[in-house]
Structure 1
Amino acid sequence: MSYVIGIDGGGTKTTCLFLEADRDTLPSDPKMITGKGSNPHVIGFEGTGIRLVSLLKAGMEHYSISPSEVVSIGCCLAGVGRSEDEAEMARVLKNSFFNFKFSENYDLFIGSDSLAALKGALAPEAGEGILIIAGTGSNAIGIDQNGDIHRCGGWGHLLGDEGSGYYLSLKALSSVAKEADGRGPGTLITPILLKELQLDEPEQLIRYIYKRPQEKHEIARLAQCVIEASDQKDEVAIGILEEAAEELVLHVESLFQKSFKDTTPVMAAGSIFTHSCIVKQHFIEGIQRKGLGVFRDPYGPPEFGAALLAKSVIGTRKGGDGDG
C-alpha cells in the first residue's frame, strides 16, 4: 500500500492525515493524528521540524505504516506563504526526515495552511471558489477559473486578523475594561472572562496580561467568553460577533474585486465559524446582501487538502517547490 501524508500545521494544533495514494475522496474513517501547533514563525523552523518528526513517527507507528510506503508529503503550515519560507522549511524537513528512510523518490510539497484549507474545501467538480478562515487568526484565499490564487488578510495579530479569535478576545478584554471604568455598558463577558482566568476583579487583568508575554493562542482562547455571553443574549457580545462577521465579509468582498462572480462558491472554516452561530449566520447574510457568491459548506478539512497537494506533486521530484 502506498500513502500520501497531508499535514495541516496551525498556531494551536497540527493535524496529519495518512491517505491511500490512490484515493481522491476523504475516507469515512480517516487515519489521522493531532499534536501541538507548528507555525515556524512561532516555534522556529527547526522547532517545527522536530514537532513534525515526532508527530509523523507517532502516527505511522499507530497505523502500522512503513516509511517505505510513503510516496509524498504535503506540509502546509501557518505563516509559510512566501517563497523564502517555503525554501527554508523544505531544507529543514529534508534534513529532519532523513532518518525516516522514506521511499527513495518520495516527493515533498511545502505551502501555506490556507492553501491546504482551500484545496480541501473545494468540491471535486468546483473550478473556482473562495474560503474565509477564522480561527486563532483570519484570512481569505480564493482560486479563480484560470487557476490563479488570490489572497486577503493574513497580516498577523499585530497588523490584522480581524474577525479572528484573537480579535474577539481583544474586544472582550476591552469591553471588560470599559465596563470597569464606566466607559461602556455592563456585559456578561466580564464575569465569564474573570472566571475563565480565575481572577476576582477586572483590575487584576493588568497584571495577568502584562506580567509575562502572552502567546497568541493564549489570548485567542478568550473568544469563547464572547461566544458564551452571546448564548445568553448579551448585547455587547452579540455586537462584537456581528462586527467580526462584517470584517470577514470585507475579506471576501476584497477578493471579489479580482475575477469572481455571483455564482462562485464561498466557504468558511475555522473555530470561530464552528462555535459561533451568530458569526456564521451574519456572515452568510452579509455575502448574500452584497451578492458575493453562494455560501457552501467545505467539502473536506485542510489536512485532506494537504494530502491532495501531496498527490499533485508525485513524480515531479521537485522536493518542496510547491506553490504556497
Structure 2
Amino acid sequence: MTYIIGIDGGGTKTTCLFLECGGTTYPKHPLMVNGPGTNPHVVGFEEAGRRLEHLLRHGMQTFSLTPRDISGAGMGLAGVGRPDEVEQMTGIVQTLFFNLKFSENLNLFITSDVHAALKGSLPPGIDEGMLLISGTGSNAVGITAAGKLVKCGGWGHLMGDEGSGYQLSLKALSKVAKAADGREASTQLTSLILQTCGLERPEQLIRYMYERPFEKKEIAAFAPCVIKASEQGDQTAVNLLKEAAEELVLHIGSLVKQGVDPKAPVSVAGSIFTHSHVLRNHVGRLLEDRQFGSLTDPYAPPEYGAALLGKPAGMDKER
C-alpha cells in the first residue's frame, strides 16, 4: 500500500494526512498528525521547512511508514500563494524530501491553504465549486469546470476583509461609541465588549484601545460579542451580521463573473461561519435570492484536498 501526503499548514497549526492511494473517498479513520504553524511569513521559510520535516518524520514513525510507501505529496500552506513563494517553498521542501530519503521522482504540488481547502470541500465527482471564508479575515476561491482557479478578496484588513471577524469587531466598537453618545440606540454589545475588556464604562474604551497597538487577531476577538448579542436578539448585532453576509455574497458574485457556474455549490469555512447561525442563514438566503448555488458543508478538510492535489499522474490527479 502506498500513500499520498496531504498537508494543511496554517499560522498556528499544521495537519498532515497520509491518504491511501487507492481511496476514492475521505477515510473514516484518517491517518493524521498535527504540529505547529508553518506559515513562512510568520515563522520564516527555513523554519517552516524544518517544522514540516519534523512533522513528516513524526507521522511516518507513528504509522510505521517508510519512504518507499510515499508516492506523492500535496501541501496547502498559508502565506504561499504567489509564484515566487511557491518556488521558494518548493526548493525547501525538495531538500527536506532528500533528507527523508524520499524518491527524487516523488510528485509534489505546493499551493495556498485556500486552494487545498476548496479542493477538500468538493464531494467526489464534483469538479466545480466555490469556497467562502469568514474568520479573522475573509476571502473566497472557486474553480471552474475547465480547472481554472479564481479568487476574490484577500486584500488584508487595511484594504478588505469585508464580512470578517476583524471588520465585525471594528463596526461593533463603533456601535458602542455611537450608543454611548446617544447617536444610536443602546445595544447589548456595550455590556458584552466592556465585560470582555474588564471595563465598567464605555469611555474607558478610549484609553484601552489606543494606549497600545492592537494586532488584527486581537481586534477580531470582539467578534464573539457580536455573535452572542445576535443570539440574544440584539438588533444592532443582527444587522451587523446581515451586513457582513451581504459583503461576503459579493465575493461569490465576483467568482461567477470570473467563470464559475453560478449554480456550482458554495461551501463555507472560518470561525464566524462556524459560530454564527445568523450569518450562515442570511448568506444562504442571499445565495438563493440571487440564484447562486446552494450552501453546503465542506465534504472533507483541507489536508484531504491537499492530498488530492498531490496525486501522481495516472492516479486521477486533479489540480
Q: TM-score higher than 0.5 here?
A: yes
The answer (yes or no) to whether the contact 2:128–2:261 under 8 Å persists in 1 is: no
How many angstroms apart in 2 are the aligned matches of 1:12 and 1:217?
A: 12
How many angstroms apart in 2 are the aligned matches of 1:92 and 1:214?
A: 33
Summarize the Cα distance change of 1:308–1:257 in structure 2 as closer, same or farther, 3 Å threshold: same
Q: Which residue of 2 aligns with 1:50?
A: 50
Superposed CA deviations along residues 252-277 of structure 1, whole A, max 9, x for unmatched, are 01122233444322222222211111
Summarize the Cα distance change of 1:264–1:245 in structure 2 as closer, same or farther, 3 Å threshold: same
The answer (yes or no) to whether the contact 1:133–1:270 under 8 Å persists in 2 is: yes
1:99 and 2:99 aligned: yes
Structure 2 length normalisation: TM-score? Answer: 0.88
Summarize the Cα distance change of 1:105–1:244 in structure 2 as closer, same or farther, 3 Å threshold: same
The answer (yes or no) to whether the contact 1:111–1:323 under 8 Å persists in 2 is: no
How many angstroms apart in 2 are the aligned matches of 1:150 and 1:247?
A: 18
1:167 and 2:167 aligned: yes
Summarize the Cα distance change of 1:261–1:311 in structure 2 as closer, same or farther, 3 Å threshold: closer
Q: Which residue of 2 aligns with 1:115?
A: 115
Residues 187-226 of structure 1 mapped to structure 2, 5 A cutoff: 187-226=187-226
Give the superposition deviation at 1:129: 1.4
The answer (yes or no) to whether the contact 1:189–1:237 under 8 Å persists in 2 is: yes
Q: Which residue of 1 aligns with 2:265?
A: 265
Unaligned runs of 5+ in 2: none
1:244 and 2:238 aligned: no
How many angstroms apart in 1 are the aligned matches of 2:185 and 2:34?
A: 41
How many angstroms apart in 2 are the aligned matches of 1:178 and 1:323?
A: 51
How many angstroms apart in 2 are the aligned matches of 1:305 and 1:149?
A: 14
Aligned amino acid, residue 136 of structure 1: T
Q: Which residue of 1 aligns with 2:287?
A: 287
Superposed CA deviations along residues 137-158 of structure 1, whole A, max 9, x for unmatched, are 2111111222222111111222
Unaligned runs of 5+ in 1: 316-321
Secondary structure of 1:124's match? coil
Q: Which residue of 1 aligns with 2:275?
A: 275
The answer (yes or no) to whether the contact 1:122–1:129 under 8 Å persists in 2 is: yes
Summarize the Cα distance change of 1:250–1:105 in structure 2 as closer, same or farther, 3 Å threshold: same
Summarize the Cα distance change of 1:39–1:174 in structure 2 as closer, same or farther, 3 Å threshold: farther
Superposed CA deviations along residues 2-22 of structure 1, whole A, max 9, x for unmatched, are 222211223343322221222
Summarize the Cα distance change of 1:245–1:35 in structure 2 as closer, same or farther, 3 Å threshold: farther
Secondary structure of 1:311's match? coil
1:255 and 2:249 aligned: no
Residues 137-148 of structure 1 mapped to structure 2, 5 A cutoff: 137-148=137-148
Q: Which residue of 2 aligns with 1:319?
A: none
Secondary structure of 2:310's match? helix
How many angstroms apart in 1 are the aligned matches of 2:67 and 2:181?
A: 60
How many angstroms apart in 2 are the aligned matches of 1:40 and 1:100?
A: 21
Give the superposition deviation at 1:56: 3.2
The answer (yes or no) to whether the contact 1:227–1:276 under 8 Å persists in 2 is: yes
* Two-structure CA RMSD over aligned residues (Å): 2.7
Aligned amino acid, residue 235 of structure 1: Q
The answer (yes or no) to whether the contact 1:12–1:217 under 8 Å persists in 2 is: no
- Structure 1 range deviating more: 195-204 or 253-262: 195-204
Superposed CA deviations along residues 58-78 of structure 1, whole A, max 9, x for unmatched, are 433333333443332211122
Summarize the Cα distance change of 1:83–1:314 in structure 2 as closer, same or farther, 3 Å threshold: farther
How many angstroms apart in 2 are the aligned matches of 1:20 and 1:323?
A: 16
Identity, % of aligned positions: 54
Residues 117-156 of structure 1 mapped to structure 2, 5 A cutoff: 117-156=117-156
The answer (yes or no) to whether the contact 1:117–1:303 under 8 Å persists in 2 is: yes
Structure 1 length normalisation: TM-score? Answer: 0.87
The answer (yes or no) to whether the contact 2:308–2:318 under 8 Å persists in 1 is: no
How many angstroms apart in 2 are the aligned matches of 1:97 and 1:205?
A: 51
Aligned amino acid, residue 111 of structure 2: G
Q: Which residue of 2 aligns with 1:234?
A: 234
